[in-house]
């Protein structure tokens, strides 16, 4: 089974982030790679109308296409009057349904003996560099100065609570697939990276080291690695491509990736399971 994962497309009608033409070129490359399934791993577009327009670019691939949101996709849409709660509470999923794509926060993809399970996941500050001596409370207080989510999402949910909520739901879907004897391998696709091997460390840069708190969820990653049928974890969010093999002893290795997409330069990774 060939799985293609792209992320951080930041599809933007005005082209300030990523031009629609660049995404169209990506889709053509995807067609040439002949995947059996595709996942869009969050930060799909700049605004709700662009979100659905970007999804429409992928609906004709002829294979299952799964979608998870990214943090940018939860930014309130002032033009359309859509709050973060409205986007997360149904609007994003409804756009997926209209385009015939799979909203991975509620469903999974199965191709032969391989299952693809996904979630946006959310950062819980566990990826903070060890060199930074800050508590969770302090990181929450300074977030508005370091991360635009604090200014552009209009709800009052705490990051740790939201991260735990998404983790519970992801593990339920993961265990449901893994408990099926017909499934021999599971790929987990998230927006927020889950593993240390997916985190970019720059110890010479204190600001980067601090903002890593908002760029990973190693707590969820630890739980996912305990599931023996998980063979790959692919994430986005950081725009810094990564590829590694995570050894788990008797449970066997897990391939770990971060999609190297950046503004105006959308990319995908292709893996075989």
Task: Report pLDDT for 165.
Answer: 98
Task: Report pLDDT for 245.
Answer: 98
Residue 48: exposed, middle, or buried by beta-carbon count in 10 A (0-12, 13-18, 19+)? buried
> Could you give the CA distance from residue 273 to residue 271 in angstroms, rounded to a whole number?
7
Element of type H or E holding 85: helix 84-86
Task: Report pLDDT for 123.
Answer: 98
Give mean pLDDT in consecutive 10-residue pieces for the chain, a chain of 273 residues.
98 96 97 97 98 97 97 97 97 98 98 98 98 96 96 95 98 97 98 98 95 98 98 98 97 98 98 96
Superfamily of domain 2-272: Metallo-dependent phosphatases (3.60.21.10)
Structure letter (DSSP) for residue 29? H
Q: How many CA atoms lie within 13 A of 118 on its CB side?
A: 32
> Could you give the CA distance from residue 123 to residue 216 in angstroms, rounded to a whole number?
5
Task: Report pLDDT for 136.
Answer: 95
Task: Report pLDDT for 159.
Answer: 98
Structure tokens at 236: 């986005």
Task: Report pLDDT for 37.
Answer: 98
> Could you give the CA distance from residue 129 to residue 133 in angstroms, rounded to a whole number?
9
Model pTM score:
0.97
Residue for token digits 């500050």? 125
> Could you give the CA distance from residue 63 to residue 4 in angstroms, rounded to a whole number?
11
> Could you give the CA distance from residue 176 to residue 186 in angstroms, rounded to a whole number?
11
Task: Report pLDDT for 141.
Answer: 96
Contact indicator for 67, 35 with CB cutoff of 8 Å? no
Contact indicator for 167, 220 with CB cutoff of 8 Å? yes
Contact indicator for 73, 42 with CB cutoff of 8 Å? yes
């Amino acid at each position: 089974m060939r799985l293609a994962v792209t992320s951080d497309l930041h599809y933007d009608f005005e082209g300030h982030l990523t031009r629609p033409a660049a995404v169209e070129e990506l889709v053509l490359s995807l067609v040439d790679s002949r995947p059996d399934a595709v996942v869009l791993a969050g930060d799909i577009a700049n605004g709700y109308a662009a979100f659905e327009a970007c999804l429409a670019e992928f609906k004709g691939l002829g294979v299952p296409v799964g979608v998870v949101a990214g943090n940018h996709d939860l930014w309130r849409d002032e033009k359309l009057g859509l709050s973060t709660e409205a986007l997360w509470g149904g609007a994003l999923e409804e756009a997926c349904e209209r385009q015939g794509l799979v909203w991975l926060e509620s469903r999974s993809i199965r191709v032969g003996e391989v299952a693809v399970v996904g979630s946006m996941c959310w950062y819980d500050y566990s990826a903070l560099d060890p060199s930074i001596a800050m508590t969770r409370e302090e990181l929450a207080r300074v977030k508005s100065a370091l991360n635009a989510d604090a200014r552009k999402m209009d709800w009052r949910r705490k990051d740790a609570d939201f991260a735990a909520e998404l983790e519970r739901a992801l593990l339920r879907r993961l265990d449901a697939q893994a408990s099926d004897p017909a499934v021999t391998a599971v790929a987990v696709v998230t927006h927020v990276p889950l593993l240390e091997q997916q985190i970019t460390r720059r110890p010479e840069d204190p600001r980067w080291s601090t903002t890593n708190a908002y760029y990973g969820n190693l707590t969820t990653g630890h739980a996912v690695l305990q599931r023996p049928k998980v063979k790959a974890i692919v994430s986005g969010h950081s725009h810094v491509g990564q590829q590694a093999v995570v050894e788990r002893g008797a449970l066997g290795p897990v391939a770990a990736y971060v999609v190297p997409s950046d503004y105006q330069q959308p990319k995908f990774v292709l893996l075989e399971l």
